[in-house]
Amino acid sequence: MSPLTERSVNTIVTVVSSFYRYHLQRGTSLSNPIVSEQLPDRFSGFRRFIIHTSRGKATRRTIKLKEPRRRVKTVKDVDFEAFLETTDNLQFRFILLLMREGGLRVGEILGLLIQDLEFHRNGVWVRRRNGLENGALAKRMVEGEERFVDLSPEFMALLDQLLLHHTFDTDHLFVVLKKEARDKWGNSTYGHPLDREAVKALFRHYSHKTGMRLDECSQLTLADIEFGERSGRVTIRSGKGNKARTVPLNASARVALTEYLAHRFGGQPTVKAVAAARPPSHARFAPLWRSQKGGTLTTSAMRQMLDAVVRDAAARSLVPADTCAHTLRHTFARNYLAENPGDIVGLATLLGHTSLDTTRIYSQPTIEHLARRIEQLSQNA
């Protein structure tokens, strides 16, 4: 359980203090447990307009924790483009772009109706409506209030394409498109308006789906793997953007593959034994990773296996609990740059990045690296 923030503590103190003041003002015999301090008006920096009516009475102020100044967190263009690139859900891409281009809140987006779109003005109306099916509400607006948000003509043209596929019996712009979707009571939600929990689930899903990537790994065949005792490589034939690339295999990866294939072919865990036991050329397009039933191991199954390993390792404090396939990909990238400083082009080739700007995020030092550098400065001072 994470500790309460200063703002949360102050909110609790204010609510409890207001509760006791309410009852004390009505003659209830209670003692307020909230600590306050006396602030005489004549010593305060601010003099109220009606200070002459206080007759020297002191003002009581509840003692609170000092709240740190909140810094607004933003997303860099390169990070947003990288995240958007991993998103194959058309509706979710529109939601992300509405947040980015129009600055709309989640509640405002989920409350959009088809009639809120104005293509001749290139924008959308944000309106507060109570009683919507998905519970969406435009924050800080009163009933009937509205504002117009300008959007680019290109984005409005994309929204027009989205409407062509909208055949549901609802005016909500964003709906559940997964036919097997169910709510917590088991009722079908297909065609119903998207709610906040569904958007959160989409963020969680695509935050981990950037990770060689899991979907690339699940598509490998035996023909994509070539390795010997001193070298090896894997050919990724259908990477992101339908691009192919070749990635070298280091010694530890070659050893792991040898042990896995030896168990699969029923031979000795040596490179020569595995090479001799490999199937003929016409059968080498069989999937590299097989499920227990002999079929292809899916990306979803891989992610479940990795999650199980992470939970077990996290319980023994070996890895952070939020480790995922994408974390391993980040680790590889940072380790590569640590061994080959400045080789952004080589790393981009290995990761399958089209833009070097996407790869450069790995060259930024982490907090741990900065801490070690500062520690070395203090030792050398």
Please give the positions annotated as active site: 213, 240, 326, 329, 353, 362
Cα 89 to Cα 97: distance, rounded to the nearest angstrom: 12
Cα 321 to Cα 304: distance, rounded to the nearest angstrom: 14
DSSP structural state of residue 171: -
Of 282, 278, 285, 283, residue with least CA distance to 264:
278
The strand pair at 123-127 and 225-227 is best described as unpaired
* C-alpha separations of 298 from 118, 207, 270, 303 in Å: 43, 19, 27, 9
Cα 32 to Cα 305: distance, rounded to the nearest angstrom: 54
The tally of CA atoms less than 13 A away on the side-chain side of residue 302 is 21
DSSP structural state of residue 39: E
Of 164, 165, 129, residue with least CA distance to 146:
129
Cα 328 to Cα 307: distance, rounded to the nearest angstrom: 12
